[in-house]
Amino acid sequence: MSIVKINALTVPAEQREVLEQRFSARKGIVETADGFEWFELLRPLEGTDQYLVYTRWRDEEAFQAWMNGSMKEAHQGGGSGERPKPAATGSETWSFEVVQQAPPK
């Protein structure tokens, strides 16, 4: 079964719009990665300052290939000058294996 990687990003309120704009402007390289299945950026509604970046992969090997290859290209700055300051003040990655799933009926 698939695996899920969730990057929990701690984002101060004043940086939320910056983070969302950066994700909106992303290059979309992950969608072309072998083994990639799904991406979602989840905005917190209440009780936390953590955004969740949800990605789903065919297997751990596909994810690791992404991390060791195209991910670096996807996260590079504009190419001329310094990378912008991160919008998040911290991050933590969570890993899960999909053991059950159900599509809509």
Instruction: Quote the pTM value.
Output: 0.85
Q: Which domains does the chain carry?
A: 3-75+87-97 (3.30.70.100)
pLDDT tens-digit readout, 85-97: 899 999 999 999 9
Q: Pull the structure tokens for residue 25.
A: 């402007």
pLDDT tens-digit readout, 31-80: 999 999 999 999 999 999 999 999 999 999 999 999 998 776 665 554 55
Say how far apart CA 16 and CA 79 lie, in whole Å: 24
Say how far apart CA 49 and CA 51 lie, in whole Å: 7
Say how far apart CA 42 and CA 32 lie, in whole Å: 21
Alpha helices (H) in the chain, listed in sequence order: 16-24, 60-68, 70-74
- Is 28 a residue whose pLDDT tops 90? no
Say how far apart CA 45 and CA 39 lie, in whole Å: 19
Say how far apart CA 55 and CA 6 lie, in whole Å: 6
* pLDDT tier for residue 26 given thresholds of 50, 70 and 90: confident
